[in-house]
Structure 1
Amino acid sequence: MARYRFEALTYAGKSERGSVDGESVRAVRQALMAKQLVPVSIELETEWGKQRFWNKWFSENKPLSRADLTLITKQVAILVRSGVQIDETLSVLAEESSQAHVKAVLQAVVAELRAGLPLSKAIATQPLSFDPLYQGVVGAAEQSGKMGQVLTQLAEFLEKRQALKNKALGALAYPAMLTGVAFMIVLFLMTYVVPQIARVFQNTKQALPFSTRFILALSEFLMNWGWLLVIAMVGAVFYARRALANPEFRLKVDRVLLNFPLIGPLLLGFETARFANTMAMLVAANVPILTALHSARDTLNNTVLRAAIDSTEGRLREGTSLARALGSQGVFSPILIHLIRSGEASGKLAEMLKYGAENAELESEQKTKIFTSLLEPLLILLMGLMVLGIVMAVMQPILEMNSGVR
């Protein structure tokens, strides 16, 4: 029996909060209504602690990871297509799982199923593990009666989404490592090597060139006031996060990023692939086009593209076709718009959206290779120039001392 936190209203309109034990959300709701309380929200006790780092990532109460979700979706699809009931399927998977958090999530969903809720409503009680997109696809599968087929498509979609993210992160891994190594080398030189040599210059009373004086001053600043620089950097990150929380400022930043050379086309390619993949999967699951468009919009990170989808939804409600409404926004590639137009004309919209996603992924991979092929040597060059500058600034007065002795 799980413990739930609730917020409810009395018939007099007074708000009440508390905790109660129950077999499921439905059982807790019935118990509250029996006490003449109208439930506003009911959540598992663990969800109220989701902001806590330990609970979210290290305890058995943490949500399913994307890898967990993809594997479970595959397994459920196979068993359901084999004729096994959904509650029995999830119960078997929970018993076989060696991970405590997976077992806990699946058992909670099974409890809701056996309490009479459909699968889409049962997984909605675990919002940290099953996002609204997942819930919407499962709801569409229930209406169409093709649960096994839709879950198979959903598993493939989750795999592609994770693979796309891994490609983007993998492209940045080596440049990030180079940047980190360069930073550590420069920090070591400025806080250890340069101060040792500075003592030699103090004893000689030699007139030092500007580059040497600059490096020595910078080294002294880092030694004495480096902590202030760290605080300033943390403050800058905090301020940037606060600023990005402002919708207008975030929109301006995202627009600049989309128009930035090399980076803009790369971001647009990954976003387009994610959008088209999501739309293809939802349309194939017979999700209504407006619902599919709204769900696909929520997978986008760039607010400029989100605003374009919002405008597209408005034009669709007015009776415009998807291709014309999306093309009028002027942000997505003409190839994707052409494929959507062909899909609407031929009745194969899901298939054409899938082709559009594959094309966007291919273009993104090619642009990523170009970007990394330019970025990696540039970072190596910058790292070499920084180290060379420090070494030359330190060595120049030493060489002058040696020539003076001769």
Structure 2
Amino acid sequence: MKQFTYKAITQNNKRISGIVEAKDKEAAIKILKEKRLLIINISSQSDNFFYKLSLSFSKVSGSDIVFFTRQFAIMMNSGLPMIQSLNILKKKTSKAMAKVIDDIIQSIEGGSSLYEAMNNHNKIFSPIYLSLIKSGELGGVLDQVLEQLANNLEKERDFMAKVKSALFYPGIISVVMVGILIIMVFFVMPQLAELYKQFDADLPITTTLMISGSEFIRHYWFIFFFIFLLAIFAVIYFLKQSQVRQEIDKIILRLPYIGDLQDKIISTNLMRTLSLLIKSGVSIVDSLQVLSAGAGNYVYQQGITGTIRNVEKGMSLSDSFAQENFLPELVIQMIIVGEETGKIDETLAKIARQFEKESVIALKTMTNMIEPMMIIVLGIGIGVMVFSIIMPIYNLTSSF
């Protein structure tokens, strides 16, 4: 006999949990149903720990979520039963995602809804994702919601791909600069220092500074390493402090170029997601509450929280946004038009597309400014190094 842990609801709508003994899962479910319990979740106690442990060591990527959602939407739109669709997907996706899908299947077979099953993996599925699934199930339009959700995830993926592409070249230059510095400090300068010492060469000030700096770093590298680790832990600690995080978020939005870029990126995600939630039948207040939890910036989070209070008082969405004053006036005017025409979701989607275009342009402008500056810095650094190396050698050869 095996032991199974379960969560269920009694006829009096009371949630209970416990352990039931049975020869297999089907028998355990039958026993619980005979007790007139509505099963929420049931799993084998013997393999539950190891299963969760394996999940903790496997990572589901964003691409896995996009693929799962798109394929799930196609299958549901084709009329395939949910469990059959999930079983097919389990065989087509990555191992990490397959484990998650398998757990979702078990939860649904145990009596849970799709939302409840997915909510057990709320570190993988975002609050927005889960809210849409819940709305789709309640409204009987899960296939349509999955289709819209897949479209939205693909747009977000494509947008982030553009951001990463724009940052790729500056990143390569940064890696090259660090690589050259490491090679010079730990390999080139020690050998040159020994050579200059043997010939008692007269060294320029730049060469002396480079040799001294190289020796100091090589002898006390562990101090720099400790300071580096300490700085990382300090940053992580302070970022977890709400007051510090709030001030940092405010400062970032005030920075030239960077603040404008982040403003546009956050606005893109905000408008696109709000459009999707409203289109899927989620109320404006519930949509804003989901957005507030995942705003990603304190200023926007406070603005959305204030907007929720205004909407609950009976104000329109446009007036609520306008009173909080964290969105551009043009956006407010476009939302007013959407409210008047009854096409608020379409209007928000248009605003999101416009913000996305502006974000890409702003990102390209910023990287076009950074790239030449980094190349100049790299060139000056290499020039100083070459001068510091060549001059002592030139002086030595001239003395013979």
TM-score (norm 1): 0.83
Letter in 2 for 1:373: N
Deviation at 1:112, TM superposition (A): 2.3
Counterparts of 1:19 and 1:193, CA distance in 2: 70
Deviations 1:316-359 (A, max 9, x none): 22222222222333332333222222212221111011001100
Superposed, which structure 2 residues align to 1:7-406 within 5 Å?
Answer: 23=25, 45=49, 49=53, 55-57=57-59, 64-94=60-90, 96-97=91-92, 99-403=94-398, 405=399
- Worse-superposed segment, 315-324 or 276-285: 315-324
Q: Specify whether residues 282 and 199 from structure 1 end up closer, same or farther in structure 2 by C-alpha distance, changes over 3 A only.
A: same
Unaligned residue ranges in structure 2 (runs of 5+):
8-16
Q: In structure 2, do the counterparts of structure 1 residues 2 and 109 end up closer, same or farther at CA, with 3 Å as the change threshold?
A: farther
The answer to whether the 8 A contact 1:109-1:123 is kept is yes
**Distance change >3 Å, CA 357–CA 232, structure 1 → 2:** same
- SS of equivalent to 1:328: helix
Classify 1:104/1:23 alpha carbon distance in 2 versus 1 (closer, same or farther; 3 Å): farther
Aligned residues: 379
Cα drift, residue 50 of structure 1: 7.6
Per the normalisation by structure 2, the TM-score is 0.84
The CA distance in 1 between the partners of 2:6 and 2:51, in whole Å, is 9
Query: Aligned-pair RMSD on alpha carbons?
Result: 3.3
Q: Quick one: distance in 2 between partners of 1:246 and 1:19?
A: 44
Q: Distance in 2 between matches of 1:191 and 1:20?
A: 65
Residue by residue, what CA displacement relative to the aligned partner does 1:206-245 show, whole Å, maximum 9, x if unpaired? Answer: 5533322211111111221122212211211111111111
Contact 1:105 1:126 in 2 (8 A): yes
Cα 1:390–1:123, aligned 2, differ >3 Å: closer, same or farther? same
Stretch of structure 1 that moved more, 113-122 or 340-349 = 113-122
Is contact 2:86–2:101 with CA below 8 Å preserved after alignment? yes
Does the aligned pair in 1 maintain the 2:55–2:99 contact within 8 Å? no
Determine if contact 1:5/1:20 at 8 Å carries over to the other structure.
Answer: no
1:103-129 CA distances to partner (integer Å, 9 max, x unpaired)?
Answer: 332232222223332221222223233
Give the letter aligned to residue 191 of structure 1.
Answer: F
Structure 1: gaps spanning 5 or more residues: 7-15, 58-63
Equivalent residue letter for 1:45: F
Structure 2: how far apart are the matches of 1:378 and 1:169?
A: 19
Task: Deviation per CA, 1:242-265: give whole Å up to 9, x if none.
Answer: 111111111111111111111111
With 321-330 and 151-160 compared, the bigger mean Cα shift is at 321-330
Mapped to 2, the partners of 1:131 and 1:19 lie a distance apart of: 32
Q: Which amino acid aligns with 2:322?
A: G
Q: Partner residue of 2:11?
A: none
Instruction: State whether residues 55 and 96 of structure 2, in contact with CA within 8 Å, keep that contact through their aligned partners in structure 1.
Output: no
